[in-house]
Chain A
Amino acid sequence: MNHQPKNRISRKGLTVWRLYGMIETVVVALLLAGVGTLTYFFDWPNWIYAAAGGLLVLFAFLFIYLFPKIRWERWRYEVRDQEIELQHGLFIVKRTLVPMVRVQHVDTEQGPILRKYDLSEISISTAATTHTIPALITEEADELRSRISVLARVAEDDV
């Protein structure tokens, strides 16, 4: 547990997460604007404005700046011949070990925002679970996908 998996996800992943954070912040801002309007029309106390403003700033700070940063710094992965190791998590750091023999199939996937940044996410499925590495350069992801699928076929069970 002292050594960490080697590889990090793409730096652009951080940008994408910040973008997601901004979208979420806009949604929250709209909700809070709704509260503000209600406050105006129903003469609710003025401190509600201040609270809403404060909440928005806090939300923006957490979801645009802090959380993506921590998540990105935490995210590590490593694909070895016999296993895949993943580490991620904001509050709870999770280290996952997936033996190659257990890998059933590997998918890459790319939404519109990821495509714009030339990123893909790669999902590794076992018989019971699915694990996703969220932001890799598309080329890298494709390469990794074929590498894992080759390794998964070759891997032998010795126990």
Chain B
Amino acid sequence: MSEPRYKLHPISALINFLKGLKELILPFVIIFGANLFREDGISGMFNQGWQGLLPLLVGGVVLVFMLIAGIIKWKRFVYWFEDGELRIEYGLFVKKKRYIPFERIQSLNYIEGIFHRPLGLVKVKVETAGSGKAGQAEAELTAIYRAEADRIEQEMHMAKRGYAAQAETADEMLYGPVEAQPLREEVADEPARVLYRMSMKELLVLATTSGGIGVVISGVALFLSQFSELIPYDAIYEEVMLFMRFGYLVVALTVFAGLLLAWVISVAMTLIANYQFTIHADEERIYITRGLLEKKKVSVPFNRVQGIKMTQNPLRQLFGYVHVTVESAGGTLTDKDEKIRLFPLVKQEKMKPVLDELFPDFDWSPELTRLPKRSRPFFYRLSIVWFVPAFAALGYFFYPYGLWALAVIPVIVAMGLWQHRTAGYAISGRQLTAQFRGISLHRFYMLKKRIQVVAVTRTIFQRRRDVASVHATIKSGMLGATALVPNLSREDAEEILAWYEPSRQRQKVDHEQTKNPQPNEIG
């Protein structure tokens, strides 16, 4: 055992304890909450002798047990480096060993919680391609010093250099060839460059225009539905009836105030989560750090990037702001929270140079081929048909006012025409760009070698009008993400298919080679 063993910082015991506590909050609230609504309330618990105190006793024992468990977990946890592997030994009752070869490690993600920051500690999540459960890291080091985290990274770089050749063939089998990286060796130790730092203004715009308000409202609704049995609705109802007498204005104002509050909370949450959003990069990876109370650092290896997606909702489009995400393969990215947002929000002009630097292979503003005029009806006809039963019902039961529902039709048509105008595609060399609109505008940039499957769909009506929709799927997280170009003219759909089809491509290449024998220029 020549290799030195390392332990976690003692604060991990506390963190383990608190984490266990967090899981117990709900049962505790239910136990004590239920007592609260009993006849004599909490005080009743103390009047009934030791039996009334039983819940408290059990709670106390559980607490002590959790504390001890937390300490033992910390005591038992060791990690060290051996044979190009990160080795971890841990376990409360059963001793477990986990050996992770360095070349399998996809990313080390750092998280700094409130307990970590004053002590200069980080929590390290080790992620590999085939991590078992979704959203769960392969290994987690609860709290170590910054320098120790850097040491792991160094060890990883050292080991990876030795294994680089093998690792690349493994990658190639899984995800297609890895780009040649001649600079890798020299640059490995160079500190990451800062490419972009989110300005306070952008952060504010992001927070105020994000849809986070929905999350807060649904959270409150969920909370209410969870505890609905404990809430004395009858009492509340009477209160409300009294309240109603104050008139609708007050009610409306209260509702408005409630929504406003929810909005303010959502703004605050977004601000805290994205505070000091920064993009760094070195030759191998992109690093994204963010967060005020809990500082998160996510890293994405360049060779895992499958495509780039830009999204603009109409409001942000008006002001020229874009939301950019990176679709990346593997890892624990199925977690929605962990989705790699390259730019949560950025002005279009500011984003271009950064993207150019990060992904020089891409053409960011290709000339889009638009849809033919004849495909316009496809964008609203079906939605109108879906609404017909609603129109009929409203018109019948609420005649004549129900007929106002028909006013929706122009809105649907206008939306459809807008979708028609937005959609388009471009093929530039090895890159496919697809643009389409739901309500927000989506634009996918992807390279041919990253596209897993291309499908063309046609309904009978589309066949009659000689149009077709094209779907291109890339790998994203554990699953796929599909880019859509709806209702293209058939020739254009055919062109995309021909561009993608390997054997037709090969014929073309062979043809060019005989004409102009310069194999380096192709591909």
Within residues 469 to 523 of chain B, which ones have a CB less than 8 A from any CB in chain A? 473-476, 479-481, 490, 493-494, 497, 500-503, 505-506, 509, 522-523
Nearest neighbor of A89 in chain B, beta-carbon distance:
B457
Residues of A within 8 A of B346 (CB): none
Contact of A96 among B176, B455, B481 (CB under 8 A): B455
Asked whether any CB of chain B lies closer than 8 Å to the CB of A39, the reply is no
Within residues 105 to 135 of chain A, which ones have a CB less than 8 A from any CB in chain B? 126-129, 131
Q: Are B505 and A1 touching (Cβ within 8 A)?
A: no
Q: Are A91 and B460 touching (Cβ within 8 A)?
A: yes
Asked whether any CB of chain B lies closer than 8 Å to the CB of A100, the reply is yes
- The count of chain B contact residues (Cβ–Cβ below 8 Å) is 39
Q: Are B452 and A82 touching (Cβ within 8 A)?
A: no
Report the minimal beta-carbon distance from B461 to chain A, rounded to whole angstroms.
Answer: 10
* A140–B455 CA distance with the chains assembled, in angstroms: 25
Asked whether any CB of chain B lies closer than 8 Å to the CB of A53, the reply is no
Report the minimal beta-carbon distance from B113 to chain A, rounded to whole angstroms.
Answer: 34
Residues of B within 8 A of A91 (CB): 459-460
* A154–B142 CA distance with the chains assembled, in angstroms: 45
Residues of B within 8 A of A101 (CB): 176, 502
Report the minimal beta-carbon distance from B492 to chain A, rounded to whole angstroms.
Answer: 11
The verdict on A82 contacting B455 (CB below 8 Å), with A128-B473, A157-B449, A158-B509 known, is: no
Nearest neighbor of B466 in chain A, beta-carbon distance:
A1
Asked whether any CB of chain B lies closer than 8 Å to the CB of A92, the reply is yes
Q: Are B503 and A81 touching (Cβ within 8 A)?
A: yes
Residues of B within 8 A of A97 (CB): 453-455, 497, 500-501
* A128–B474 CA distance with the chains assembled, in angstroms: 7
Contact with B along A75-112 (1 / 0, CB 8 A): 00000111100000101111111111110000000000
Asked whether any CB of chain B lies closer than 8 Å to the CB of A50, the reply is no
Asked whether any CB of chain A lies closer than 8 Å to the CB of B160, the reply is no
* A120–B353 CA distance with the chains assembled, in angstroms: 53
* A158–B505 CA distance with the chains assembled, in angstroms: 9
* A97–B475 CA distance with the chains assembled, in angstroms: 16
Listed residue (B456, B493, B502, B523) with the most chain A CB atoms within 10 angstroms of its CB? B502
Q: Are B452 and A126 touching (Cβ within 8 A)?
A: yes
* A100–B457 CA distance with the chains assembled, in angstroms: 21
Contact of A80 among B448, B449, B456, B503 (CB under 8 A): B503
Asked whether any CB of chain A lies closer than 8 Å to the CB of B468, the reply is yes
Asked whether any CB of chain A lies closer than 8 Å to the CB of B430, the reply is yes
Q: Name 12 A/B residue pairs within 8 A (Cβ), A-sorted.
A: A1-B494, A89-B457, A93-B463, A96-B455, A101-B176, A128-B475, A128-B476, A128-B481, A129-B480, A131-B453, A158-B522, A159-B523
Binding site for A on B (CB under 8 A): 174-177, 329, 430, 448-449, 452-460, 463, 468, 473-476, 479-481, 490, 493-494, 497, 500-503, 505-506, 509, 522-523
- Known interface pairs A97-B501, A101-B176; 18 further A-B residue pairs with C-beta atoms within 8 A, sorted by A's residue number: A1-B493, A81-B503, A82-B501, A91-B460, A92-B457, A93-B458, A95-B455, A95-B457, A96-B454, A97-B500, A98-B453, A99-B502, A128-B480, A129-B453, A131-B453, A158-B509, A158-B523, A159-B523
